[in-house]
Copies of this chain bind each other. A is one copy, B any other.
Amino acid sequence: MRYLPLTPADRSSMLETVGASSVDELFRDVPEAARLSGPIAGLPMHASEMAVERHLGKLAAKNLDAGSAPFFLGAGAYRHHVPASVDHLIQRGEFLTAYTPYQPEIAQGTLQVLFEFQTQVARMFGTDIANASMYDGSTACWEAILMAARVTRKGKAVLSGGLHPHYGEVVRTMAKFTRDEIVSLTPELSAQTDDAAVIAAIDETTSSVVVQYPDIMGRIPDLEAIAEAAHAAKALLIVVVTEPVALGLLEAPGHLGADVVVGEGQSLGVGLQFGGPYLGLFGCREKFVRQMPGRLCGETVDAEGKRGFVLTLSTREQHIRREKATSNICTNSGLCALAFSIHMSLLGGEGLEQLAAINHDRTQALVERLTQIPGVSLLSDAYFNEVTLVLPRDAREVVRELADKGILGGVSLGRLFPEQVDLHNGLLVTATETVTLEDIEEFAAGLAAVLEGEAA
């Protein structure tokens, strides 16, 4: 057993020191009936590295990975090229196998990275400050709503219909138990975002307004107008960004009046990973700092006056504050934050802008090509790297038929909004820098064939 260093001789000598005749004696507090006499039945015994690789390799091979097919999915998880140095660096044992930096003297590596990360996120979002990460975008969104309730001492959140439905579902699930009030607007297959409806839903009891930017259908809401309405009602504007690369091209939400900006950071450094682990981003105004959820890293000095970093304001956190904690977050996404931060350090603002430009470029090419197919139309012409196409029939079947051809052709709105039949002809497609013109051509040919098949 390759991970266990004790030898049989070690075990004997240690038992002697301990004063036990056998290891069973050490388990004597376990009630007799609950003690298992041998390995649990029906489970395999230990296996060699090679055997484990074979087993998992076979399972991996059963999946169609994004690199092996023309790939156009987004909807909250984006495929971007990650420089090889990122994955190399996060695997340095000192980063990978460290614990939460509770002993700052020997954790400056992690801590300085978190400080740099917080600065990067804040500058990208246009917020004063940011925290050291959350589980993912959806839980960050819920934490933002909770924080707004604490700050405003009100309990009603208004969710735009453009919010990712899984985010909305997480919010509604949690609110069911905490008894917060959630007003969820109904999404529509329209060229416009639902800014007007959102503004109309705000009243004096509203604590927060949650708007996604760009929204789940790839459209771009007018944040300034919504911010004005929210602030007039003493509510906070929470902006959700599921594709941070968009902020290389679009104005930062913090510059448009957002009080809190949360997001999903997997686009940079982290990868698709079938949905997790991902990286929750959280930025806000400086005045909310003591109401913020999650860990914070702050600058200080050591006994010799050298600059150093520590986790700070941890009295907000549950392992200290217990029943009065500001959030449920404990373990967070440190390693994903590291990956994000390295990728962002390589890109810089300049690289982020270039990356955004090529994403938008590819999506323009995709839209041009797909809208040449009879029956396919574009929902809205203000988009970044993701658009909704309207098809002549239920997009769920179309996606499945494309998969049969080896094409991963987007996400159907029917899968995201199963209960809203009026959206079911919508197909959400994304093109990042990883998409080639050949991919687009193959997708177009496949989509045309699938749609023609219907006519036939």
The chain A residues found within 8 Å of chain B, CB to CB, are: 2, 48-50, 53, 81, 83-84, 88, 91-93, 346, 433-434
Contact between chains at A433 and B84 (CB < 8 Å): no
Q: With A and B bound together, what is the CA distance between A290 and B150 in angstroms?
A: 79
Q: With A and B bound together, what is the CA distance between A74 and B84 in angstroms?
A: 33
Can you list 11 contacts pairing A with B, beta carbon distance less than 8 Å?
Answer: A2-B83, A2-B346, A48-B81, A49-B81, A49-B84, A50-B81, A50-B433, A53-B81, A88-B91, A92-B92, A92-B93
Known: A48-B81, A53-B81, A92-B93. 5 other contacts (CB 8 A): A2-B83, A49-B81, A49-B83, A50-B81, A50-B434
Inside 8 A of A93's CB, which chain B residues have their CB? 92
A47 to chain B, nearest CB (A): 12
Q: With A and B bound together, what is the CA distance between A92 and B49 in angstroms?
A: 21
A452 to chain B, nearest CB (A): 31
A105 to chain B, nearest CB (A): 22
A193 to chain B, nearest CB (A): 32
Q: With A and B bound together, what is the CA distance between A93 and B88 in angstroms?
A: 9
Tell me the nearest residue of chain B to A88, going by C-beta: B91
A271 to chain B, nearest CB (A): 14
Tell me the nearest residue of chain B to A346, going by C-beta: B2
Which 10 interchain pairs have the tightest Cβ spacing?
A: A50-B81, A49-B83, A49-B81, A49-B84, A50-B434, A88-B91, A50-B433, A2-B346, A92-B92, A48-B81
Q: With A and B bound together, what is the CA distance between A53 and B83 in angstroms?
A: 10
Tell me the nearest residue of chain B to A57, going by C-beta: B67
Inside 8 A of A434's CB, which chain B residues have their CB? 50
A434 to chain B, nearest CB (A): 7
A177 to chain B, nearest CB (A): 42
Inside 8 A of A50's CB, which chain B residues have their CB? 81, 433-434
Tell me the nearest residue of chain B to A84, going by C-beta: B49
A436 to chain B, nearest CB (A): 8
Q: With A and B bound together, what is the CA distance between A83 and B2 in angstroms?
A: 11
Q: With A and B bound together, what is the CA distance between A346 and B5 in angstroms?
A: 11
A349 to chain B, nearest CB (A): 14
Inside 8 A of A92's CB, which chain B residues have their CB? 92-93
